[in-house]
Structure 1
Amino acid sequence: MKPQLLKHGIALTLLAACGCAAHAADWSDTSIGYRYGTKYAEPFNTKDISKSIVNLTSASGYKYGKNFLNVDLLMSDDADPSSAGAKSGAHEAYVVYRHTLDLGKVMGQSFAAGPVRGLGATAGFDYNTKTDAGYNSKKRMVVAGPTLMLDVPGFLDVSLFALWESNAPYSTFSQTATPRYSYKVHPMLTAAWGIPFNVGIPLSFEGFANFIGSKGKNEFGGDTASETNIDMQIMYDLSAAVGAGKNTFKVGLEYQYWKNKFGNSDHGNPGATAKTPMIRAEYHF
Structure 2
Amino acid sequence: MQKSMFTRAAVLAVLAALAASTAANAADWSDTSLSYRYGTNFAEPFGRNDITKNILNLSHASGYKYGSNFFSADMLLSDKNDPAAPGSSNGAHEVYVVYRHTLDIGKVTGRDFKYGPTRGLGATLGFDLNTKSDAGYNSKKRMLVAGPTIFFDVPGFLNVSLLALWESNAPHNSFTNTDVPRYRYKTHPMLSAAWAIPFSAGIPLSFEGYANFIAAKGRDEFGGSTAPETNIDAQIMYDVSPFIGAGKNTFRVGLEYQYWRNKFGNPYYGAAGSGAFAHTPMVRVEYHF
State the distance in 1 between where 2:165 and 2:126 align.
10
State the distance in 2 between where 1:53 and 1:263 align.
22
1:43-192 aligned within 5 A? 43-192=45-194
State the distance in 1 between where 2:202 and 2:277 align.
36
SS in 2 for 1:278: strand
Deviations 1:113-132 (A, max 9, x none): 01101100000000000000
State the distance in 2 between where 1:21 and 1:250 align.
23
- Contact 1:24–1:63 (CA<8 Å) still a contact in 2? no
State the distance in 1 between where 2:236 and 2:161 align.
22
- Residues 1:276 and 2:284 are matched in the alignment: no
SS in 1 for 2:243: helix
- Contact 1:165–1:183 (CA<8 Å) still a contact in 2? yes
Deviations 1:190-223 (A, max 9, x none): 0000011122322100000000000000000111
Identity of aligned residues (%): 69
- Contact 1:42–1:271 (CA<8 Å) still a contact in 2? yes
State the distance in 2 between where 1:253 and 1:156 align.
20
The AA in structure 2 aligned to 1:281 is V
Distance of aligned partners of 1:82 and 1:155 in 2 relative to their CA distance in 1, 3 Å threshold: same
How far 1:109 moved relative to its partner? 1.1
Unaligned runs of 5+ in 2: 1-19
State the distance in 1 between where 2:25 and 2:123 align.
20
TM-score normalized by the length of structure 1: 0.92
State the distance in 1 between where 2:233 and 2:195 align.
11
Partner of 2:36: 34
State the distance in 1 between where 2:288 and 2:178 align.
43
Partner of 1:215: 217
How far 1:148 moved relative to its partner? 0.1
The AA in structure 1 aligned to 2:163 is F
SS in 2 for 1:266: coil
State the distance in 1 between where 2:49 and 2:86 align.
15
State the distance in 2 between where 1:47 and 1:60 align.
36
How far 1:46 moved relative to its partner? 3.0
- Residues 1:262 and 2:280 are matched in the alignment: no
SS in 1 for 2:28: strand
State the distance in 1 between where 2:25 and 2:260 align.
37
State the distance in 2 between where 1:71 and 1:48 align.
24
Unaligned runs of 5+ in 1: 1-17
SS in 2 for 1:270: helix
How far 1:242 moved relative to its partner? 1.2
SS in 2 for 1:153: coil
Deviations 1:11-42 (A, max 9, x none): xxxxxxx9x96663000000000000000000
Shifted more, 42-51 versus 53-62: the winner is: 42-51
- Contact 2:152–2:158 (CA<8 Å) still a contact in 1? yes
Deviations 1:227-246 (A, max 9, x none): 00000000001111111111
TM-score normalized by the length of structure 2: 0.91
Q: Which runs of 4+ in 1 moved over 4 A?
A: 20-23
State the distance in 2 between where 1:124 and 1:60 align.
15
- State the number of aligned residues: 267
State the distance in 2 between where 1:46 and 1:101 align.
40
